[in-house]
Amino acid sequence: MSMKKDSVCPQCGSRNVMLGVKLDDRAGGAGARWDATLSVEQNPDAIFFKEATTVDLKACVCAQCGHVEPYVANPSQLWTAYQTARSEQRR
Ligand SMILES: [Zn+2]
């Protein structure tokens, strides 16, 4: 069962599920907030142009029990970068 797809909490079965909740990184303090992201470097061996592909990390949150399931907004974009990185390494 997918929390994101079915809008049902796998822990408690509640349908009060919030989708697309943004994960904020509070490392900056003093009200500074950055959206949490995941990134894949297409060319990790390069010194300058690593061409990192970054996607937003979002989450499904259950309003009943607080269960959280993170997911990325554009998984296919990340997958493309990952595949590119792997083919670069085989060269
Ligand atoms: Zn729940």
Per-residue model confidence as pLDDT tens digits over 18-74: 999 987 766 656 665 667 888 888 777 776 667 788 898 899 999 999 999 999 988
CA 33 – ligand 1 centroid, Å: 27
Answer left, alpha or beta for residue 49, where phi above 0 means left and psi between -120 and 50 means alpha.
beta
Separation CA 28–CA 18 (nearest Å): 26
What is the H or E stretch that residue 82 is in?
helix 75-90
CA 12 to ligand 1 centroid distance, Å: 4
β-strand partners of 56: 37
**Six-digit token pair at 30?**
């003093």
Ligand 1 centroid – CA 86 distance (Å): 38
Give the pLDDT confidence score for residue 38 in this predicted structure. 85
d(CA 16, CA 62): 6
Q: How far is the centre of ligand 1, averaged over its atoms, from the C-alpha of 75 (Å)?
A: 24
Residue 61 pLDDT? 95
What's the 68 CA to ligand 1 centre distance in angstroms? 8
